[in-house]
Structure 1
Amino acid sequence: MFAVRKMLHQAAPEFPAVLAAGGGQAERARDLARRLQLPLLPIGAEFTAMPAGKVVLFVEPDGLALQYTGMGAPGPVRVAFEGGDMLHRRRTGGARLLGKAVGHGKKTVLHVLDATAGLGRDAFMLADIGCRVRLCERELLLAELLRDALDRAALARDPQLRAAVQSLQLFASDSTALDAGQLDGLDVIYLDPMFPQRSKSAAVKKEMAIFQALLQHTVPSDADRLLSWALQQDVARIVVKRPLRAPHLGAVLPSHSVVGKTVRFDVHVRRKLA
């Protein structure tokens, strides 16, 4: 243990970095580090011994996770469409308001671009109710978590889960960089710009810590720029997720809003869904 701590101190590794949980994950960790052009940490390195506030892509036996570093850092963040949180959302109708906002039911199959996929929860709920969803995530580490979760869910025992993930297509890219072919046939563009979470739960805190570390160079105007881009696309509507009392994104008034207890969905209708 002392040797590992000393080596990390002397080497002063760059971050983000990739770390295998054990020897069985070493080959996958090497492949990820090579493909993402990230440093590879030695097996056995401790998160608490690393500089605080950094992010590690942790390769575990059951998938990928993002781990915040430093003493007292929160636990790993994973994407799991088959997990208890997503099951709860599915059973309690968590997609009802979102489905209403995007116009679910107004067209046999609705094609949606989730331009800010994040951990993919809203995209999965849309796919679960029958939409075809293209996820776009420009932060490559988050995109890797999404890709890993999609691969695992495709092998799940639950046939409804397998069917839902077959309706999800991932692009590791800034949505504004998608070409005409990748945007073809879209009905809706969905935007969920990050905003401060008020929840005091440990899960939300650790996710926000990871996001803040990964997206430290993101500026508020990025969200306005994204809405401006979306409004120029040939789609029937744009939907923006906002905190309940937050101002309209980019000061652009929506056609209407679908309001929940803690969030609302601002809907910009451009034409009828058909």
Structure 2
Amino acid sequence: MLSNESRIQVAALDVDHEAQAQALAHELRLAFDPSPDLESTATDFYLLVGDEGLALQETGRKRPGAIMADFVTGAVAHRRQFGGGKGQMIAKACGIKGSLRPRIADVTAGLGRDAFVLASLGCQVQMVERSAIVHALLADGLMRAHQHPEVAEIVSRMALFSGDARHWLRSLPDRDRPQVIHLDPMFPHSDKSAQVKKEMLAFRSVVGADEDAAELLAVALEVAQCRVVVKRPRKAPDIAGPVPSYRLEGKSGRYDIYALRRLEAD
């Protein structure tokens, strides 16, 4: 689901990847550019296909670095090794403790970082992403991660689905309803002076804000077996609907927890 204000094309970084890029452009119903000019602002973003994988690249002379779904290196690797394990706020919010590893649906998957943390702690995680662009980045990241022994077992616990999470949740039979549903809706503030990560800025341009967060929360509360967990900026207002049962707050973010019934091992 592209924002109307964004222009995006698909391109290959070399001739060896042109066929793959053309196929992706056809799948996503985007234009293929055989001669991409990353400094030009004739288009806002490129989806670039190359040896290192699929990347979303903003254009312009002062463009930021490319965005990829990466489960092997960088910040994700550091968090996996030194992030605090079950002591992390997301683990506490989702009810991970002792030997309890709930089945979790992350219905605003993004680049899969939260889902990866939960999977690294032993949870089976279903991810739902409705943006075709973000889904393509995430699918590519998972495919590459499966080839690395140090994370292959973790990503094997991550299943990816494409589509509107509201419809996906409603389609689940009772036996497949997740114990925990995790939401991290795009927060629609416009404070341009804030220090916002490049991924967030790009996603706001490409995807737009999640204006239907209240409806998604309502559906999640109908479907979740035990709890719904909503990730929010610390000072953001609650999503419209029921008052959270309790909250966990950190320095910049918080988790609103809607407790439905006691979490127990299946």
TM-score range, shorter chain: 0.7 to 0.9
| Distance of aligned partners of 1:177 and 1:85 in 2 relative to their CA distance in 1, 3 Å threshold | same
1:70 corresponds to which residue? 60
Query: What SS does structure 2 have at the residue aligned with 1:231?
Result: helix
1:157 positional shift: 3.2
Query: What SS does structure 2 have at the residue aligned with 1:146?
Result: helix
Asked whether 1:200 is paired with 2:199, we answer no
Deviations 1:195-234 (A, max 9, x none): 3598637xx1x21231122123x453x1112111111114
Asked whether 1:143 is paired with 2:135, we answer yes
1:261 corresponds to which residue? 251
Asked whether 1:46 is paired with 2:37, we answer yes
Query: What SS does structure 2 have at the residue aligned with 1:249?
Result: coil
Task: State how far apart, in whole Å, the 2-side matches of 1:84 and 1:226 are.
Answer: 31
Task: State how far apart, in whole Å, the 2-side matches of 1:246 and 1:151 are.
Answer: 35
What is the one-letter code of the residue matched to 2:147? L
Listed as ranges, the matches of 1:102-141 within 5 Å are: 102-105=94-97, 108-141=100-133
Q: Is the 8 A contact 2:185 2:210 kept in 1?
A: no
Query: What SS does structure 2 have at the residue aligned with 1:242?
Result: strand
Q: Is the 8 A contact 1:24 1:61 kept in 2?
A: no
1:59 corresponds to which residue? 49
Query: What SS does structure 2 have at the residue aligned with 1:91?
Result: helix
Query: What SS does structure 2 have at the residue aligned with 1:180?
Result: coil
Query: What SS does structure 2 have at the residue aligned with 1:104?
Result: coil
TM-score, with normalisation over the residues of structure 1? Answer: 0.85
Deviations 1:51-108 (A, max 9, x none): 26x2221111110000112342222111101112012212232551101101113764
Task: State how far apart, in whole Å, the 2-side matches of 1:57 and 1:183 are.
Answer: 38
Q: 1 or 2, which has the higher helix percentage? A: 1
Task: State how far apart, in whole Å, the 1-side matches of 2:77 and 2:132 are.
Answer: 26
Asked whether 1:180 is paired with 2:172, we answer yes
Q: Is the 8 A contact 2:234 2:251 kept in 1?
A: yes
1:172 positional shift: 1.3
Q: Is the 8 A contact 1:107 1:273 kept in 2?
A: no
Uncovered stretches (5+) of structure 1, i.e. residues with no partner: 1-13
1:238 corresponds to which residue? 228
Q: Is the 8 A contact 2:177 2:223 kept in 1?
A: no
Report how many residues are paired. Answer: 252
| Distance of aligned partners of 1:251 and 1:108 in 2 relative to their CA distance in 1, 3 Å threshold | closer
Uncovered stretches (5+) of structure 2, i.e. residues with no partner: 1-5
User: Identity, % of aligned pairs?
Assistant: 36
TM-score, with normalisation over the residues of structure 2? Answer: 0.87
Asked whether 1:24 is paired with 2:16, we answer yes
Query: What SS does structure 2 have at the residue aligned with 1:230?
Result: helix
Q: Is the 8 A contact 1:106 1:273 kept in 2?
A: no
Q: Is the 8 A contact 1:15 1:39 kept in 2?
A: no
2:72 corresponds to which residue? 82
Which contiguous aligned blocks of 4+ residues in structure 1 show a shift greater than 6 angstroms? Answer: none
Task: State how far apart, in whole Å, the 2-side matches of 1:226 and 1:183 are.
Answer: 20
Task: State how far apart, in whole Å, the 1-side matches of 2:62 and 2:257 are.
Answer: 41
2:203 corresponds to which residue? 211
1:98 corresponds to which residue? 90
Task: State how far apart, in whole Å, the 2-side matches of 1:232 and 1:240 are.
Answer: 15
- 1:162 counterpart (129, 133, 152): 152
What value does the CA root-mean-square deviation take over the aligned residues? 2.2
Task: State how far apart, in whole Å, the 2-side matches of 1:165 and 1:180 are.
Answer: 22
